């Protein structure tokens, strides 16, 4: 910026220097080439009228060109400075916009998580689980890789609430959800269905393996001490995917199997009719 600004001062000086040099060269040419004068001083300061007129016109033209060039350079410098300032403003606006977009993305992610997860247990909620189940059933119809639902219900949960209070009941639900997450595989999907009911989706899993998982969940829940309640048990209804099953039918069969486990004494697993 400083160099460009100095050019506006240097260019007129160059023009003036060019005029002086032009007069000196022309005077030398008059003496040694054209032999019009014998004295350098006379040739320089007292040329013939036509020669003087030519020098003045040429000098004026050189000065005009140098001043015009200086003006153009100055305008270019001003335009460049303005452009740099505009670029800085645009960069500031772009940075602010990017920051706002990042904040919006964070808010959207938090909202999506809140919409898809149960507030108390942080597991998936019923609505999100329904979406996943619908998608997995569609895949299962094509691949036949094995899909099973485990419908879990904490036994005598009403008694826990009545005896220890709803705060302790909520804590038991949270601990129960944590235990489920540690027992099941990373590929399995677990959600809170509602109240003390939880549901687990096992896919790409053979029926025998799924039933072993259900028994493992029942056994490990029974062995775990839930403070301050102590022993808590769970009943599980198991429903394997069958041809022409949809979301409603497989859920209905899992729920029926769960009801059967409750009827047969709780703390057990029952498999729906195949």
The whole-angstrom separation of Cα 197 and Cα 185 is 19
> How far, in Å, CA of 179 to CA of 201, rounded?
16
Q: Which residues contact 220 (CB under 8 A, 6 or more apart)?
A: 179, 183
> Which residues does 205 contact at the CB level (< 8 Å), separation at least 6?
145, 146, 147, 148, 213
Rg (CA), the chain: 46
Q: How far apart are CA 19 and CA 61, in angstroms?
A: 9
Instruction: From residue 236, give the alpha-carbon distance in Å to each of 54, 105, 148, 158, 221.
Output: 113, 39, 12, 17, 11
Nearest-CA neighbor of 178 among 120, 257, 111, 121? 121
Q: Which of 50, 59, 66 is nearest to 19 (CA)?
A: 59
- Pick from 274, 259, 264, 247: which is nearest to 151 by CA? 259
Using DSSP bridges, classify how beta strands 197-203 and 269-271 pair: parallel, antiparallel or unpaired. unpaired
C-alpha count within 13 angstroms, C-beta hemisphere, residue 92: 6
* Rounded Cα gap, residues 32 and 141, in angstroms: 108
Q: Which residues carry out catalysis?
A: 196
């Amino acid at each position: 910026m400083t160099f460009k600004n100095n050019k506006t001062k240097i260019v007129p000086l160059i023009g003036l220097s060019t005029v002086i040099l032009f007069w000196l060269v022309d005077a030398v040419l008059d003496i040694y080439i054209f032999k019009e004068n014998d004295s350098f001083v006379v040739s320089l300061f007292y040329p013939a009228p036509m020669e003087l007129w030519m020098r003045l016109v040429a000098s004026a033209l050189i000065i005009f060109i140098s001043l015009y060039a200086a003006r153009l350079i100055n305008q270019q410098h001003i335009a460049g400075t303005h452009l740099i300032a505009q670029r800085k403003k645009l960069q500031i606006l772009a940075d602010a916009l990017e920051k706002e977009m990042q904040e919006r993305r964070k808010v959207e992610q938090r909202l999506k998580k809140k919409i898809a997860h149960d507030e108390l247990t942080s597991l998936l909620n019923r609505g999100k689980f329904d979406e996943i189940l619908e998608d997995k059933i569609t895949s299962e119809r094509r691949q036949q890789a094995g899909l099973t639902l485990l419908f879990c219900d904490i036994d005598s949960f009403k008694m826990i609430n009545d005896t220890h209070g709803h705060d302790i009941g909520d804590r038991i639900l949270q601990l129960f959800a944590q235990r489920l997450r540690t027992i099941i595989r990373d590929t399995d999907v677990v959600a809170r269905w509602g109240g003390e009911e939880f549901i687990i989706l096992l896919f790409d899993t053979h029926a025998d393996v799924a039933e072993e998982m259900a028994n493992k969940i029942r056994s490990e829940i029974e062995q775990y001490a839930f403070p301050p309640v102590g022993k808590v048990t769970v009943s599980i209804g198991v429903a394997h995917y069958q041809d022409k099953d949809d979301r409603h039918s497989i859920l209905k069969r899992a729920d029926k199997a769960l009801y059967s486990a409750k009827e047969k004494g709780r703390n057990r697993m029952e498999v729906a009719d195949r």
